[in-house]
């Protein structure tokens, strides 16, 4: 025989009840011997409890009760449920008159949910031509008199069940879950998860072949799919693992449900009523593999803390705590203490926390006077995450990921076997914490949530690169890149599941004005983990957002040079905030676009290598100008106009020609070497004749020929076989606080590496003590939106693969 158990959602009106009937019909037609245990339909138990509460306050209970009756009848108008409704009506009326009720009355009321459910299902099956028998489990499961959480009396209950099934062996018995009766035949209920408990008891007493628990999900998952969208179904579990999951809050399972099955080694299969072709999760005495199985959650709990220096090394403290908890019937989920014993934390049900604190204060009254205990307090709004199967040897991975996401567990402990770890976190951080841990330990793609500010040439190219490459990166690296925010100076587009390739139109139609707090709040409200903010603007004001972003748990990436070239104080203060919040800031594209320049200098510097000089061509635009001017016999203005027409310069070319951009890039490299130079200290040779530096762009563009006499003269006065290059150079004693920073036009031999530069390439020479006069040379495309965007993309992947 197989025992089938159907939950409340499975038995709801419409698709639910129709699926249940179809499953039972199919099994009967296939000749399977089955018994069926049912919960109350839909939310019947909660509704009955709510109506009871209204009655006790002398409120209008009749209106919700009429709705309840209508819902329970559903579309089956010809079924007679008047007996159960009459019982309820009388009970509600009595409670309303008295203004109170006992647990005994409450059990009588709640039991009607299961009775109505079993009666309706039996009625429908009989109408379908299936021989079915309504079975009131109060006649079978005999219990003690602890109303609300009664314990079955095993011997008499087992005898009753075996006898009843012998008498009714040629029918499908539809059994009420959750309810029983005491020796006086008063109705009792079996407490939380009571219907599942009924099913496992019936399976045990009848030596069933299998218990099939039909729910609204496909089985047991690595985490609650409602909280963790990436959760995966587990195909097999052992009873021990299931028991651990049950102990730590899995709603489908409960420890008391597992034990009767374990005693007889009866497999439990968790199935989906709405997808019954799925094989579900099979729980047996054997598991198919070692390793982490699932994340379970305990909610509605509080943390009770005992603090005191006198707890250090004092024996018997734990025993006293447990005695107090036991005497007051307070269940402790977790107890944990530091090695110093100065602090002990207990996790208890939220509704028992105040009682626990009061009783502990009584127990430790003398210890307060002697100052051994100085404080007993409650921390509300916490949740417990248990990682079932987590070995302490690899626990550093999820723990580090939590810290990186600014989630600091309040308390953690592990079981004696060392195979399960539990963490207490703030309730507000539960959703995010679950996703962070799950992404770290279950081999699913690690989700990286990205906000991109600025979608001009570089930003727009980057967004498209990410959207095009994301599927391949997820397949290759198990990293899921999710662009959830795109913003320009005016509008913000948000989508927690990621923007579409049509983002340009969407930001125009769906974008809205914003502050940076809107982005941070959206990430928090949607529990987004592994956050990265990317600044692709050229804005001096946007860098003011870096601090709130870092404090809001965002790592930072920037192609915008401003933040690294403001005052040295701002530079250091930003890094202090980043360190305090354990956030990273990458900006490889600040100097060499897509070239690996900053990383190389960082690595050399961190390794202790003494860098003595850095020089090179820092501007792709100016590289193009002087490479072509040196190679061709044409006026400087003609080359400059060509560069302007091809879009190589800024809209106002003076921004390139003044040399400030090269100066900023040079300053960034200097600060990577811990030099404290300010921008004002850089000696910059401005390439623009003084009389052309002011005025509007149009006037300037009409006067380009005025460059020619100046630069023709400079070119003509060079030594033979020399070419012009506009370089940045960092020199001096770089072990001091400041170096010499120069930006200048120089003439170099054409047969040198610098002299042989072509096109618009950037070129850098890094001189070190170890390498002597043979510099490390980095050369390549140092400008262009595609190259810069690809460099930013590289920074994204670097951050994604960290920790």
Q: List 554's β-bridge partners, or say none.
A: 531
Q: How big is the chain by its Cα radius of gyration, in Å?
A: 36
Element (H, E) at 343: strand 343-349
Rounded distance, CA 296 to CA 223, Å? 6
Pinpoint the alpha helices (H) of 274-316: none
**Alpha helices, DSSP H, located in 616-701:** 620-631, 636-645, 654-657, 660-672, 697-701
Residue at token pair 């498209």: 464
Name the β-bridge partners of 157.
none
606/603 Cα distance (integer angstroms): 5
Closest CA to 481 of 794, 803, 223, 784: 794
User: CA 251 to CA 262: how far, in whole Å?
Assistant: 19
Q: What is the dihedral of CA 515, 519, 521, 525, to 10 degrees?
A: 150
E strands along 419-478, which residues? 420-426, 446-453
Distance of CA 423 to the CA centre of its chain: 15
> What's the rounded Cα separation, in Å, for the pair 397 and 383?
20
Q: Which helix (H) or strand (E) holds 377?
A: strand 375-388
Distance CA 57, CA 654 (A): 79
651-654 contacts: CB < 8 A, separation 24 or more? 651/697, 652/697, 652/700, 653/700, 653/701, 654/688, 654/692, 654/693, 654/697, 654/700
Euclidean distance between CA atoms 727 and 615, whole angstroms: 7
Residue that is written with structure tokens 């879009």 in the block: 647
Q: Is residue 134 within 8 Å of residue 174, measured between CB atoms? A: yes
CA atoms within 13 A on the CB side of 31: 0
Sheet holding 740-749, edge to edge: 683-684, 740-749, 722-731, 611-617, 761-768, 776-781
187-189 and 761-768 strand pairing? unpaired
Q: Determine the Cα–Cα distance for residues 44 and 8; give it in Å rounded to an integer.
A: 8
Q: Does residue 452 come out as left (phi exceeding 0), alpha (psi in the -120 to 50 range) or beta?
A: beta
What letters, b where the CB count within 10 A reaches 16 and e where it falls short, cover 171-203? Answer: bbbbbbbbbbbbeeebbbbbeebbbbbbbbbbb
In whole angstroms, what is the distance from residue 65 CA to residue 89 CA? 8
Buried b (16+ CB within 10 A) or exposed e, 265-290: ebbbbbbbbbebeeebbbbbeebeee
Which residues fall within 8 angstroms of residue 466, CB to CB, at 6 or more apart?
450, 481, 483, 793, 796
d(CA 384, CA 424): 5
Q: How far apart are CA 252 and CA 454, in angstroms?
A: 47
Catalytic residue, chosen from 286, 665, 715, 744, is 665
Largest CA distance in the chain: 117
Count helices and strands in the chain by DSSP H and E runs: 29, 28
Dist CA 324 CA 372 (whole Å): 18
CA pair distance 33, 30, nearest whole angstrom: 9
- Cα separation of 188 and 210, whole Å? 27
3-state secondary structure of 739: coil
**665 catalytic per annotation:** yes
Query: Reduced to 3 states, what is the DSSP secondary structure of residue 238?
Result: strand
| Residues catalogued as catalytic | 665
């Amino acid at each position: 025989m197989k025992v089938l158990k159907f939950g409340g959602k499975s038995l709801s009106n419409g698709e639910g009840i129709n699926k249940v009937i179809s499953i039972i019909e199919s099994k009967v037609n296939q000749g399977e011997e089955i018994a069926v245990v049912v919960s109350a339909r839909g939310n019947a138990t909660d509704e009955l409890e709510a109506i009871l509460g209204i009655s006790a306050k002398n409120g209008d209970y009749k209106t919700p009760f009429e709705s309840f009756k209508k819902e329970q009848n559903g579309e089956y108008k010809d079924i007679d449920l008047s007996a159960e409704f009459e019982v309820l009506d009388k009970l509600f009326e009595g409670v309303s008159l008295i203004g109170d009720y006992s647990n005994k009355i409450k059990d009588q009321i709640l039991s009607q949910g299961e009775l109505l459910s079993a009666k309706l299902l039996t009625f429908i099956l009989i109408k379908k031509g299936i021989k079915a028998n309504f079975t009131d489990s109060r006649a079978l499961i005999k219990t003690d008199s602890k109303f609300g959480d009664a314990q079955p009396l095993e011997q008499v209950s087992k005898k009753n069940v075996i006898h009843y099934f012998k008498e009714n062996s040629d029918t499908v018995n539809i059994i009420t879950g959750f309810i029983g009766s005491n020796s006086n035949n008063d109705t009792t209920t079996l407490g939380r998860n009571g219907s599942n408990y009924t099913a496992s008891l019936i399976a045990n007493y009848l030596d069933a072949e299998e218990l099939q628990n039909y729910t609204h999900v496909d089985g047991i998952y690595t985490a609650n799919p409602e909280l963790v969208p990436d959760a995966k179904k587990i195909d097999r579990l052992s009873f021990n693992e299931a028991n651990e999951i049950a102990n730590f809050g899995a709603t489908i399972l409960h420890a008391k449900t597992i034990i009767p099955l374990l005693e007889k080694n009866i497999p439990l299969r968790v199935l989906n009523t709405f997808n019954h072709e799925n094989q579900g999760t099979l729980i047996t005495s054997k598991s198919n593999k070692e390793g982490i199985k699932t994340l379970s959650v305990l909610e509605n709990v509080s943390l009770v803390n005992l603090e005191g220096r006198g707890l250090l090394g004092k024996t018997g403290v734990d025993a006293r705590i447990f005695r107090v908890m036991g005497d007051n019937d307070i269940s402790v989920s977790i107890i944990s203490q530091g090695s110093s014993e100065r602090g002990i934390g207990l996790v208890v049900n939220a509704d028992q926390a105040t009682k626990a604190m009061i009783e502990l204060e009584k127990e430790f009254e003398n210890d307060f006077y002697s100052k051994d205990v100085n404080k007993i307090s409650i921390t509300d709004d916490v949740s417990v995450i248990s990682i079932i199967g987590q070995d302490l040897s690899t626990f550093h991975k999820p723990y580090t990921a939590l810290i990186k996401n600014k989630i600091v567990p309040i308390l953690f402990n592990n079981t004696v076997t060392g195979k399960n770890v539990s963490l207490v976190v703030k309730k507000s951080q539960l959703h995010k914490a679950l996703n962070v841990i799950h992404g770290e330990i279950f081999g699913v793609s690690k989700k990286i949530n990205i906000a991109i500010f600025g979608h001009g040439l570089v930003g727009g190219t980057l967004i498209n690169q990410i959207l095009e490459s994301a599927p391949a990166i997820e397949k290759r690296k198990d990293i899921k890149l999710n662009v959830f925010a795109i913003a320009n100076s005016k509008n913000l587009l948000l989508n927690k599941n990621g923007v579409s390739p049509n983002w340009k139109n969407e930001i125009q139609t769906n974008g809205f004005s914003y502050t940076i707090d809107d982005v941070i709040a959206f990430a928090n409200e949607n529990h987004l983990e592994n956050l990265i903010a990317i600044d692709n603007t050229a804005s001096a004001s946007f860098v003011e957002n870096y601090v709130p972003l870092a404090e809001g748990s965002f790592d930072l990436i920037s192609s915008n040079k401003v933040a690294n070239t403001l005052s040295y104080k701002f530079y250091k203060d930003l890094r202090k905030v980043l360190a305090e919040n354990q956030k990273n800031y990458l900006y490889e594209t600040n100097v060499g676009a897509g070239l690996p320049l900053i990383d190389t200098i960082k690595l050399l510097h961190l390794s202790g290598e003494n860098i003595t000089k850095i020089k090179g061509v820092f501007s792709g635009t100016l590289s193009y100008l002087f490479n072509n001017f040196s190679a061709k016999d044409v006026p400087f203005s003609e080359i400059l106009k060509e560069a302007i027409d091809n879009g190589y310069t800024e809209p106002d070319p003076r921004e390139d020609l003044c040399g400030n951009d090269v100066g900023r890039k040079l300053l960034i490299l200097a600060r990577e070497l811990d030099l404290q130079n300010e921008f004002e200290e850089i000696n910059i040779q401005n390439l623009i004749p003084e009389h052309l530096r002011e005025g509007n762009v149009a006037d300037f563009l009409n006067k380009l020929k005025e460059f020619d006499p100046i630069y023709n003269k400079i070119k003509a006065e060079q030594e033979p076989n020399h070419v012009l290059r506009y370089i940045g150079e960092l020199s001096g004693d770089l072990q001091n606080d400041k170096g010499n920073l120069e930006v200048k036009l120089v003439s170099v031999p054409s047969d040198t590496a610098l002299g042989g530069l072509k096109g618009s390439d950037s070129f850098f020479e890094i001189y070190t003590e170890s390498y002597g006069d043979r510099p490390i040379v980095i050369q390549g495309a140092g400008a262009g939106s595609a190259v810069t965007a690809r460099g930013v993309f590289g920074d994204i992947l670097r951050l994604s693969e960290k920790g």
